[in-house]
Structure 1
Amino acid sequence: MKKRNLALSSLAVLGTASLALAGCSGSDDGGGSASGDGETTTVSFMLNWYPYGEHAPFYYGVEQGIFEEHGIDLQIEAGQGSTKTAQAVGQEQVDFGWADAPAIMASIDSGVGIQSVATFLQVTPSAVQVFSDEGIETPEDLKGKTIAVSAGDAPTTTFPLYLEAVGLEESDVSQQNVDPAGKIAAMLSGQVDGLIGFAHDQGPTIAAESGRDVSYLRYSDAGLSFFSNGIVAPSSTIESDPELIDALVQATSEAFAAAKEDPEAAVASMEGKDPQMPDAEVLQGQWEETIKLLETDATAGQVPGTNAVEDWENTIEVLSTAGLTAEDGTVDTYYTDEFQPE
């Protein structure tokens, strides 16, 4: 589609600042297209989880007026897992969501009316996470070790593919199924030698709580990668209000670029926003790890949120092989390229 310039002029931004702070929007019910006439549209945006470092760009984008410049009054809400976020978007309980690609794709396979409109975390953060002083430096060192996993999640379900990629058998590693909330505790207490999860999330938390360095055996280092988190939209909104989606994607891309440029300021913008948020040191580590995930070889040098068809095709191949998504899914099934950031 031909994109409209939805940015406000600087004078218009100043003129509407008080309205934005008062929670006003460009329409009575908060719906409708983002506009360039000085008004803002209130947009509810559900995260994949309680706020952590990965989400710094959204708070920074709000603080810096980036979303407002695109006509959006962004209302950030905590989530309780990517699957619940995807379902909430499909049921139009919220306008948009931030969710993991495997959860989005599996939801679409089950009939939920949503699509991905821009993936920002394009390299999977999936990794085996271990204490650096335990002598586990290569995949070969995992032999005979016990690793905490959580049945059904993407890192666990694709773990056999990782083992195959590094030349190990599933029997080489003992997998202890642990509730997601208990994996960190199991590692801290020494019940397991490590855990499988997202390196940009648990790793900095474990390091802060233990006072020990954490090392990562990343799936991507073994040549196994797939998409992670991005923006999901209802199919109905894609059809009825593409200009609003375009404004949100463009603003998010600018916010990620700005947060990447000034990581400390981006993390500082999160202060006091949620009582369950990690402390500043952990947030900083999480965001710095997230920056490493924002582009692939196919999108190197492009603005954040630029998606390449070959990366989507690879994601579909990996996740369908792991049994997480349908075998007959196509790129168009899960993603629309109508809103590529500029």
Structure 2
Amino acid sequence: MTYLTAFNTFGREAYAYVAKEKGFFAEQGLDVDIQVGTGSGENMAALASGAAQFAPVDSTGYMLTKAKGDIAGITAIAAVQQRSMVGIMTLNDTGITTPKDLEGKKLGDQAGATTTILFPLYAKLAGFDHTKVEIIPTGAGDLGPALGQKKVDAIGQFVVGQPLIEKAAGGGTRKAVSLAFSDVITDLYGHFLLTSDKIATEQPEMAQKFATALLKGMDYAINNPQESAEILAKAVPETDVEVAAAEMVIMKTYTVGDAPKLGIVDQERVAKVIAILEGAEAIPAGKTPAEFVKIDIAPKA
């Protein structure tokens, strides 16, 4: 079966490679081909078409997309992170230390990225005017350089990207400053592990086995970041091991959250997320958790 990384092969993706290298997939009787994902939209389309069987996608971006009817035939079966990693990254020489400071500034972000999708909601809840922020479409590979070269004042970036951004900015006294969306929109999950409705319905045990192995890889990776970065580098030679390990260290907090174990998806919490999105008029009213998550096969507390 095919698994797509959430996006590229950054250090934050190491857990899947760990699950394969350590034999966690094989323990479940699974032969998994890990391929490089190119973002939420493309990953969801691949799952819906059957081109891939599993992929992590930012949970809120997924819920917004599905609620609007822009994707169908897919569902969530586990939470990869308990807290959203979506955020805005800037540097300590821009004067941006709070969300309000973004007004009058330029924000670089990839077209259609989750950060851009959530930005008006984030601004509303954080108490600033999103229309006073100019969003500059910027390719994913150009975000770090654009910030480092002061072409933009901030960028859309998962908070675990801090080591990568500091490296792109040239290091030294220039340090990254993160504005995590989860500090404002507190109930949001991070990535959900998605699969097709067909697999979740017709092969639920296989779906659970996949989630079990992947989450075991995550547990190992966040507790052994250096070794996990080295495992990633074996599969992806261009990996900067130091940066990849640092990303895993940051991601641990978001992965574990307050949950008693990894992967848990709580129906009541999903309902809260739906209420938040409905209240912000980001999705149509009347949606239910079952429309987004296959609760009966998702990990339980």
TM over 0.5: yes
1:281 aligned to 228, 242, 246, which one? 242
Q: 1:179 to 1:57 in 2, by over 3 A?
A: closer
Q: How far off is 1:153 after superposition?
A: 2.3
1:103-135 Cα offsets, whole Å, 9 max, x none, are 433247335211111121231212221112433
- Which whole-Å CA distance do the structure 1 matches of 2:33 and 2:111 have between them? 32
Please give the residue correspondences for 1:22-101 in structure 2 after superposition, counting only pairs within 5 Å.
Answer: 43-101=1-59
1:80-120 Cα offsets, whole Å, 9 max, x none, are 11211111111111222222224433247335211111121
Q: How far off is 1:321 after superposition?
A: 5.0
> If the length of structure 2 is used for normalisation, what is the TM-score?
0.87
Do structure 1's residue 198 and structure 2's residue 152 form an aligned pair?
no
Q: 1:324 to 1:284 in 2, by over 3 A?
A: farther
- Which whole-Å CA distance do the structure 2 matches of 1:312 and 1:217 have between them? 23
Aligned residues: 295
Query: Unaligned stretches of 5+ in structure 1?
Result: 1-42
Which piece of structure 1 moves more, 188-197 or 320-329? Answer: 320-329
Please give the residue correspondences for 1:170-319 in structure 2 after superposition, counting only pairs within 5 Å.
Answer: 170-201=130-161, 203-210=162-169, 211=171, 212-274=174-236, 278-296=239-257, 300-319=258-277
Alpha-carbon contact 1:100-1:230 (below 8 Å) kept: yes
2:296: which partner in 1? 338
Q: 1:323 to 1:178 in 2, by over 3 A?
A: farther
Q: 1:323 to 1:52 in 2, by over 3 A?
A: farther
Amino acid in structure 1 at the alignment position of 2:164: T
- Which whole-Å CA distance do the structure 2 matches of 1:160 and 1:44 have between them? 34
Question: What SS is found at the alignment partner of 2:6?
Answer: coil
Q: How far off is 1:246 after superposition?
A: 1.3
Amino acid in structure 2 at the alignment position of 1:159: F
1:9-56 Cα offsets, whole Å, 9 max, x none, are xxxxxxxxxxxxxxxxxxxxxxxxxxxxxxxxxx22122222111221
1:138: which partner in 2? 98
Identity in percent: 22
- Which whole-Å CA distance do the structure 2 matches of 1:274 and 1:320 have between them? 41
Q: 1:126 to 1:104 in 2, by over 3 A?
A: closer
Question: What SS is found at the alignment partner of 1:312?
Answer: helix
- Which whole-Å CA distance do the structure 1 matches of 2:140 and 2:280 have between them? 20
Q: How far off is 1:214 after superposition?
A: 0.4
Alpha-carbon contact 2:6-2:13 (below 8 Å) kept: no
> If the length of structure 1 is used for normalisation, what is the TM-score?
0.78
- Which whole-Å CA distance do the structure 1 matches of 2:295 and 2:287 have between them? 16
Amino acid in structure 2 at the alignment position of 1:158: L
Do structure 1's residue 120 and structure 2's residue 80 form an aligned pair?
yes
Q: 1:235 to 1:172 in 2, by over 3 A?
A: closer
Structure with the greater alpha carbon radius of gyration? 1
- Which whole-Å CA distance do the structure 2 matches of 1:161 and 1:86 have between them? 22
Which piece of structure 1 moves more, 130-139 or 58-67? Answer: 130-139
Query: Unaligned stretches of 5+ in structure 2?
Result: none
Alpha-carbon contact 1:165-1:224 (below 8 Å) kept: no
Quote the RMSD (CA, aligned, Å).
2.4
Alpha-carbon contact 1:199-1:216 (below 8 Å) kept: yes
